[in-house]
Amino acid sequence: MLTRREFIRAAAGGVAATALADCGTDMGDASSAPPLPADRKWLTLLAKGMDKEYDHSADVEGRLPVGLTGTLYRNGPGMFARNGFSKRTILDGDGMIRATRFSDGGVRFRNRFVRTTKYVAEESAGEFLYPTWTTPAPGFFSNIPCIPSRSQAGVTPVVKGGVLYAFDEVGGPYPIDPRTLDAGRETNPYEGEAGTGPVNYKAHTKTDAKTGDWVLVGQRGQRKPELHVVVKNSAGHQTRHIAYASPRGRAYFHDFFWADPYAVFHLQPAMLSPLPMLIGTRTFAESLEWRPEEGSMLFVVDTTGARPPLVLDIPASWMWHALNAHVAGNTIVADFVGYDTPDHFLGPDASFRAIMQGREGVAKSPGTLRRMTIDLAARRARVETILAGRYEFPFVPQRRVGQPYRYGYVSSSRVSDQGWFHDGISRIDVTSGKEQAFHFGSGYYVGEPVFAPDPAARGDGEHDTGWLLAEVLEGASGTSFIAVFDANALADGPLAKVRLHHALPFSFHGWWDAAQT
């Protein structure tokens, strides 16, 4: 929320802004990127919203594993356009939960839009009313300021205490009935005194494998933002809350690392210029500037308060997602997918933007698997590459979160003609850098792999016994399926394909819940 002074400044700035580009126009689209070739136009299905909510049995090709019982929840933007006005990037749209239920050898699929305050108001109006983080609302005066203020609840799903939560990066999560997918009112997980906790929560949370603690991070304030960490125990009660002024207040970050008791923020040099947003000439994403010469900054927070925060400089890299982290003696080991530059996201020809217009896009800098080693005593950190490839959406099984581990899972590419959009999944041995993978090849897009443990498995060995579930868009048929893999035998290909009769748009993240069938 804006302060009174900020609002006055924004309104005054709006007078001057009338001579500038309208935030409701599609700025920066004078592009040299050519259209997608005919054999890749199917990729635009990822950017096509769903005009229907389904509830149907799915066809199974192959054999589902015995023991695979539960529900795969996924979340992502499901609506990209209203009344002829479209979102600017594939990352931006109203949240849609999809639930794929495995039970008694059969599968049922259901999807439902999250009825956020924003969604309900715009559904009634028949048009977009509010600016979002990459897209303005139609019309100039709706964008003073051009700051996202309404959650779309479209990034992550998390199940806690029998409730499914849909997170965004604005406001708090929306609670959802995991059976009906009906949404309640936006909530704030913070249990402290009003006005002292986070206002906006990050989409990513961590559940500690050893303690069951649920760790959430958020922010409060705009000019001098505070970073907040909230820890809730397995019974749902808040046990820790700590907040510090961000040492790099205008840096954008999406995810964080958890290695109890430490939360580590990677404050990359994606710096926000707020004035264009305040006067209504740029969206949040368009106001980000990549400054690699300033390097990245690590902010290491002891959530018990026993140690003061530690600020460390490392070489610049862009990070969407952390893989995992753990404490080893007086060292924190933190693994992530990093990019030398976010060319797939920022700029008029960025892949995430171009696909919305059916164009080729820029994605020259691949995501590689990297490791940060933070020496707490020496107050220094180093970064190395575990494996150079084309990766994103790193995932670690729940029983490994915040603990030493050997294997991580990612979406990956073997072909380069699809740019950023991946065609397979990989299991990476983070100790040796060895990779086991399966790629469908050109003509397929594969999203984040989600691990479902085998309930019959015993022991805490290095190998993860269970299955990987991934959404796949098949270009030839124009439909989607859920691929089911043996986590220890990816190269053998999918054990089964849960085929849908329609395409699914791009989604971000998933959650496996064995309790819901």
Residues flagged as binding site for Fe cation: 204, 254, 321, 509
- For residue range 123-178, list pLDDT tens digits in order: 999 999 999 999 999 988 899 999 999 999 999 999 999 999 999 999 999 999 99
* The predicted structure's pLDDT at residue 459: 62
What is d(CA 89, CA 506) in angstroms, rounded to the nearest whole number?
11
Pure H helices in 214-288 = 274-278
What is d(CA 290, CA 424) in angstroms, rounded to the nearest whole number?
29
Cα–Cα distances (Å) from 383 to 271, 337, 338, 369, 372, in that order, read 21, 12, 10, 11, 5
List of the chain residues with pLDDT < 50: 1-28
* The predicted structure's pLDDT at residue 460: 66
Contact 38, 476 (CB under 8 A): no
- For residue range 249-301, list pLDDT tens digits in order: 999 999 999 999 999 999 999 999 999 999 999 999 999 999 999 999 999 99
Q: Which amino acid makes up residue 391?
A: Y
The pTM assigned to this predicted structure is: 0.94
Nearest to 226 by CA among 190, 259, 258: 190
What is d(CA 230, CA 241) in angstroms, rounded to the nearest whole number?
5
Question: Which residues have a Cβ under 8 Å from the Cβ of 270 and sit 6 or more positions away?
Answer: 251, 252, 253, 288, 289, 290, 291, 318, 342, 346
Q: 91: how many CB neighbours lie within 10 A of its CB? A: 22
Nearest to 372 by CA among 334, 425, 415, 343: 334
Residues flagged as binding site: 204, 254, 321, 509
Contact 93, 80 (CB under 8 A): yes
